[in-house]
């Protein structure tokens, strides 16, 4: 997998504002807001809430990176999503705070 695809996968997994066009170019889109992902309104993002947002982004993204992630066997995709979630969850409490959500773009 090329570095470019790795970067696109990381952007997709982080909940960034990335859609990938058919030519493989990144296209900016409105990023999801913390509040729109926090469906239970408890002020944190669970792995389930975050994962649903990533799956929704995968459904609309096009290109090699999104296709590669979507074609992964489910257990490998879940493992990749779990790994990315843990990397964003800096205090390892199993949920993402607003601060951790905001910091994901700086990491």
Q: What pLDDT is attached to residue 90?
A: 96
Q: What pLDDT is attached to residue 19?
A: 45
pLDDT bucket at 15, cuts 50 / 70 / 90: low
Residue 6 clears pLDDT 60, i.e. is over it: no
Domain boundaries, the chain: 3-103
Choices 1.10.287, 2.40.10, 1.10.238, 2.60.120: CATH for 3-103: 1.10.238
CB atoms within 10 A of CB 63: 20
> SS3 for 58?
helix
Kindly report, residue by residue over 59-90, the tens digit of the pLDDT.
Answer: 888 778 778 888 889 999 899 999 999 999 99
Residue 97 clears pLDDT 90, i.e. is over it: yes
């Amino acid at each position: 997998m090329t570095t470019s695809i790795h970067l696109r996968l990381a952007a997709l997994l982080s909940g960034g504002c990335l859609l990938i066009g058919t030519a493989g170019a990144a296209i900016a889109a409105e990023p999801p807001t913390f509040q729109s992902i926090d469906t239970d309104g408890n002020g944190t993002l669970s792995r389930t809430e975050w994962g649903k947002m990533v799956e929704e982004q995968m459904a609309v993204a096009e290109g090699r990176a999104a296709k590669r992630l979507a074609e992964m066997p489910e257990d490998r995709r879940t493992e990749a999503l779990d790994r990315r979630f843990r990397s964003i969850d800096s205090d390892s409490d199993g949920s993402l705070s607003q601060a951790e959500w905001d910091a994901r773009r700086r990491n």
